[in-house]
Structure 1
Amino acid sequence: MKQFLRRTAIAFLCTLSLPVLAQYEGFRHEGEFGIQLGAAHYFGDLNPTTRLNRPKIAAGVFFRKQVNDYVALRIGANFAQLGYSDVYEKDNEFRRRRNLSFNTNIWELMVQGDFNFFRFNPANPNERFTPYLTFGAGVFGFNPYAYLGNTKYFLQPLGTEGQGSAVYPDRTPYSTTAIAFPVGLGVKYAFNDRWNLNIEVAHRFTTTDYLDDVSSTYAGIAAFKPGSPASFLQDRSYETGAIIGAQGNQRGFGKQKDQYVMATVGITFSFSSYRCPTGQ
């Protein structure tokens, strides 16, 4: 008798819980539209030890389409500022003497896949949080510049490593468009069935070594018109001591591509649909 009453009580409680579970069963999370703001940082010939001491602004918008409970596809457009200078170097004498610097704006268009650790459905209070992995590919534009006195000069047209010079017919101007491959980790949390918090850190591996306009060897002063901006910007070691930029001397490290990272916090708006559960 005692066992019968126990089973009856359990069955009754389960029956009471069915309407609570059913109210979420038909809701499907279709996707999100979001905006994000954060910081970006550059890694390359001027920052080979991957220091995080000069972050700059990053922002973007994206749309994430939910494929199933765990997988989503995302398309996003982002803006970031990157920059660095050899003046921040305290330990490496060569980089301190080299005395190069750059800044650039980045505009990127990315397609990514997001893979949730847990089911994510903002309509269900029990499925409103998940970490996720993300990776993908995209195209971005950049155009490094530096200042000589108070004048801003874009560096690619100057050919600071002899690109376009008759002295170096094999060195062609580099493209200011390249491919990036983001790999990152994020978390999502739904405040309610419409609004969500999104936090993400994604590292970008790129196909260019010229984010910073530095890659190979010094072209030598003979490759530039005397007194031209290029002749002063290709080797700025004269500002720190004896000139080190003789023709053929190492200026950068061309065997490793430049990289950058974005860390952002975003707000997203969820899109949902409702389908009648099977059997209703």
Structure 2
Amino acid sequence: MPNLSLLKNHVPGAVWKSVVVIVLLCAPFTAFSQYWQAGGFLGISNYSGDLTQKRVDMRYTRYAVGLHVKRDINRYLTLRAGLTYGRIAGADSTNTDTFLLRRNLSFRSPVFEAQVGVEINFLDLDEKKITPYIHGGVGFYSFYPTTKDANGNTVKLRPLSTEGQGMSQYPTRKPYNIRQFSIPFGAGVKVLLRDNLVAGFEIGLRKTFTDYLDDVSLTYVDRNSLLRSRGRQAVDYAFRGDEVNGTHVSRSTYPPDGTTRGSDKYKDWYMFSGFTLSYRFGGGSGGYNHWKRQKASQCPRFF
């Protein structure tokens, strides 16, 4: 190996500084060949909250679709951004708990999410052809809970203030924001189908900061106050136990003010899981050898 200190003594200072700058700039180019990826997601969406007796009720699985772009920084680190649309739902009527059956609430909601984050790959995909990975980031999403009436018509729940949101009698209960941040995270596996085609399967959880994905969180408010402030429809959809007409549950009346309607101990969650397919491009010449070393001519030229 050449003696750098001796070499420095025989090279003019200006030239030496230029050499150092070029080496530092060329290092990342000679080490890696970065790739872009563009692709789609097709899978399912689920929800966890006050209308699920279990952590997740798979009977209310709905579809989810999405688009994404990614940037491979090196063999093990990938930046990602994406848009996903899905639907979530839940209903008391399919639970077995007596309290939930008597409450008889239901909801459905679209969820549109934009998210950015990182993926950490455990193996070199080009070498092993497969790698597990974990991912995390930040998301911004919108939702809008609705339900169906006895005739199948859609009823928007948020304007009804079913738990007294925005009513002067309950000043601490503000209308919930239908656009919020979430924390997406999860794990998956990628498979290299071809040099420029990557397939995968991913499970993604979304931690939210709201308990109103399903329009249920706290206690019932006074029936008469709700009737005066929001009308008959608000009373009808704050408590639907009087619609139950079966042998397992008797007909019920509207609960007194302060009776438990939901629980704000835990926030609601939503999940996107499914398959991904990505086309990767860029990264220099010479085919799609993902981390092929670049030629020296690809380094910046200054003189």
- The TM-score bracket by the shorter chain reads 0.7 to 0.9
Partner-residue secondary structure (3-state), 1:191: strand
Deviates more, 1:251-260 or 1:159-168: 159-168
Match of 1:210 in 2: 212
Equivalenced residue count is 251
Partner-residue secondary structure (3-state), 2:227: coil
Residue identity opposite 1:145 in structure 2: T
In 2, Cα distance between equivalents of 1:222 and 1:244: 10
Provide structure 1 residue ranges, at least 5 long, that are not aligned to the other structure. Answer: 1-24
CA contact (8 A) 2:47 2:270 kept: yes
Match of 1:72 in 2: 78
In 2, Cα distance between equivalents of 1:272 and 1:197: 18
The yes-or-no answer on 1:30 pairing with 2:35 is: yes
Residue identity opposite 2:141 in structure 1: F
TM-score, normalised to structure 1's length? Answer: 0.84
In 2, Cα distance between equivalents of 1:235 and 1:273: 59
The yes-or-no answer on 1:129 pairing with 2:130 is: yes
Residue identity opposite 2:64 in structure 1: A
Match of 1:165 in 2: 167
Partner-residue secondary structure (3-state), 1:53: helix
Once the two structures are superposed, residues 172-194 of structure 1 have per-residue CA deviations (whole angstroms, 9 ceiling, x without a partner) of 11110121111211111111111
Residue identity opposite 1:211 in structure 2: L
Of 239, 250, 269, which residue of structure 1 is paired with 2:243?
239
CA contact (8 A) 1:26 1:277 kept: no
Of 18, 36, 59, which residue of structure 1 is paired with 2:65?
59
> Is the alpha carbon distance of 1:127 and 1:31 closer, same or farther for their aligned partners in structure 2, counting shifts above 3 Å?
farther
In 1, Cα distance between equivalents of 2:182 and 2:294: 42
Residue identity opposite 1:236 in structure 2: R
Once the two structures are superposed, residues 153-198 of structure 1 have per-residue CA deviations (whole angstroms, 9 ceiling, x without a partner) of 1111110001122321221111101211112111111111111112
Identity of aligned residues (%): 32
TM-score, normalised to structure 2's length? Answer: 0.78
Provide structure 2 residue ranges, at least 5 long, that are not aligned to the other structure. Answer: 1-29, 245-250, 285-292, 299-303
Residue identity opposite 1:130 in structure 2: T
Residue identity opposite 2:125 in structure 1: F
Residue identity opposite 1:276 in structure 2: Q
The Cα shift of 1:271 comes to 1.5
Hey, which of these two has a bigger chunk of strand by percent?
1
Match of 1:10 in 2: none
Computed over aligned residues only, the root mean square deviation of the Cα atoms, in angstroms, reads 2.0
